Amino acid sequence: MEYIIETNKVSKTFNGKKILDEISLKVKQGSVYGFLGNNGAGKSTTIRILLGLLKVDRGDVTIFGDKIAISNATYKQHIGCIIDSPVLYEHLNAAEFLQLTRLLKNLPKTEISRVLEIVGLADNKKLIISNYSLGMKQRLAIANSLMGQPRLLILDEPTNGLDPQGIIDVRNLLKNLPEQDNCTVFLSSHLLDEVEKIATDVGAIQQGKMIFQQSLSELINDALGCLSLEITEPKLALDLLVSKGFSLDIQSNSQITITNIEKQHCPSVHQLLINNNIEIFQSRYQARSLEQCFQKFNQQVN
Ligand SMILES: Nc1ncnc2c1ncn2[C@@H]1O[C@H](COP(=O)(O)OP(=O)(O)OP(=O)(O)O)[C@@H](O)[C@H]1O
Ligand SMILES: [Mg+2]
């Protein structure tokens, strides 16, 4: 099974308004999949459908290789999730709180120390949860969702409301989970910088429609970047490069920037300049960020 989650043209309407319009997700096993979209785009609605909390109007959802059905919820035993704000019993300490989940799920005692170790809270397990920082609470909620070693973790905006240190802690935790706990992570977010640091794969929805879905590295590499060059003879270089169809700016009498160029075309630009006796002192290629890619696709839709 290549995909842990696969949805096929899932559509959902609320009060006559189409909220999800033929959403087809493909989430690879062992990936950290960042599900992007602005406020109100339909991320939480999609997550509620994946978790069987909402029925689709049209389309189908396959998780762990089987189509999900309201009548058969066994697939949920292998999913850990946090939707909305995590509910923690704050008068308990972490070990006591996780003990409740352990008993409910009938898991071995070792499971508590295993998940506390993963989220880096082993040293704080006796501290009352109300004394935890927001980031520690979020990590505890993730520990709770990892009880029983789920194959899939679904998180709706996991870094929402956290301070910079909390964001870093949760980021490091989520990034390492596939390898550390053999678990696929599906997380929604509108924080593009954050997703760029965590995800291996990304998909985005805008007004209920998928606007892209790709591995992060392919998305960034396929997007056209900028090549900044420090050279002799910038005017001659400009003429040469324009004649080859490049668009570019002259910044100073030694600096030019080629906008919208694929990375693999940079060596031929260098060669062209050298062949024309133009000396290159510095050359720097800057790839697009996830944010720039998102904006580009967004503009295409609007
Ligand atoms: N139960 C419901 N009844 C009616 N409309 C709903 C319901 N649930 C969601 N919506 C609408 O569906 C749209 C998508 O909402 P959703 O919560 O999925 O967005 P989101 O991408 O998670 O946004 P955010 O980033 O703000 O969390 C919104 O316009 C919302 O008002
Ligand atoms: Mg939401």
Is any ligand 1 atom within 6 A of the Cβ of residue 155? no
Verify that 15 and 60 share a domain, yes or no: yes
**For residue 188, what are the β-bridge partners?**
35, 156
Is any ligand 1 atom within 6 A of the Cβ of residue 208? no
pLDDT reported for residue 302: 67
Average pLDDT over residues 150-171: 90
Is any ligand 1 atom within 6 A of the Cβ of residue 243? no
pLDDT (tens digit, 9 = 90+) per residue, 8-25?
A: 999 999 999 999 999 999
Mean of the per-residue pLDDT values for the chain?
92
pLDDT band at 293 (very low <50, low <70, confident <90, very high): confident
Verify that 112 and 244 share a domain, yes or no: no
Ligand that lies nearest to the alpha carbon of residue 38, given by its number in the listed order? 1
Quote the ligand 2 centre to 85 CA distance (angstroms). Answer: 11
Is any ligand 1 atom within 6 A of the Cβ of residue 42? yes
From 13, 19, 43, 50, the mutation candidate for ligand 1 (largest count of ligand atoms within 8 A of CB) is 19
Quote the ligand 1 centre to 52 CA distance (angstroms). Answer: 16
Verify that 233 and 86 share a domain, yes or no: no
Verify that 178 and 199 share a domain, yes or no: yes
Closest residue by Cα to residue 37 from 188, 224, 147:
188
Average pLDDT over residues 61-70: 90
Is any ligand 1 atom within 6 A of the Cβ of residue 12? no
- Can you say how many angstroms the Cα of residue 262 is from the centroid of all Cα atoms in its chain? 24
**Distance of CA 118 to CAs 50, 149, 172, 181, 249, Å?**
25, 11, 11, 8, 50
**Distance of CA 143 to CAs 105, 137, 149, 168, 180, Å?**
14, 10, 10, 16, 13
| Structural domain of 268 | 224-286
pLDDT reported for residue 141: 94
What are the backbone angles phi and psi of residue 239, rounded to the nearest 5°?
Answer: -60, -45
In this predicted structure, the answer to whether residue 299 has a pLDDT above a threshold of 80 is no
From 44, 157, 186, the mutation candidate for ligand 1 (largest count of ligand atoms within 8 A of CB) is 44
Closest residue by Cα to residue 184 from 103, 289, 64, 89:
64
pLDDT (tens digit, 9 = 90+) per residue, 213-268?
A: 999 998 888 778 899 999 999 999 999 999 999 888 777 889 999 988 988 899 99
Verify that 229 and 176 share a domain, yes or no: no
CATH of the domain at 58: 3.40.50.300
Quote the ligand 2 centre to 140 CA distance (angstroms). Answer: 21
As separate numbers, helices (DSSP H) first and strands (DSSP E) second, the chain gives 10, 15
From 10, 12, 13, 14, the mutation candidate for ligand 1 (largest count of ligand atoms within 8 A of CB) is 14
Enumerate long-range contacts of 128-131, CB under 8 Å, 24 or more apart: 128/90, 128/91, 128/92, 128/93, 129/88, 129/89, 129/90, 129/91, 129/92, 129/93, 129/94, 129/97, 130/90, 130/91
**Least confident stretch, 42-51, 67-76, 106-115, 141-150:** 67-76
Please tell me the residue having the least CA distance from ligand 1 atom 24.
39
**Distance of CA 193 to CAs 118, 168, 225, 273, 290, Å?**
24, 12, 17, 35, 7
Give 27-70 as a 3 state SS string. Answer: EECCCEEEEECCCCCCHHHHHHHHCCCCCCCEEEEEECCEECEC
Verify that 240 and 204 share a domain, yes or no: no
Question: Distance between CA 34 and CA 218 in Å, rounded?
Answer: 14
Question: Higher confidence at residue 296 or residue 284?
Answer: 284
pLDDT band at 186 (very low <50, low <70, confident <90, very high): very high
If one counts the domains in the chain, the total is 2
Task: Record the tokens describing residue 159, joined without a space.
Answer: 């870094």
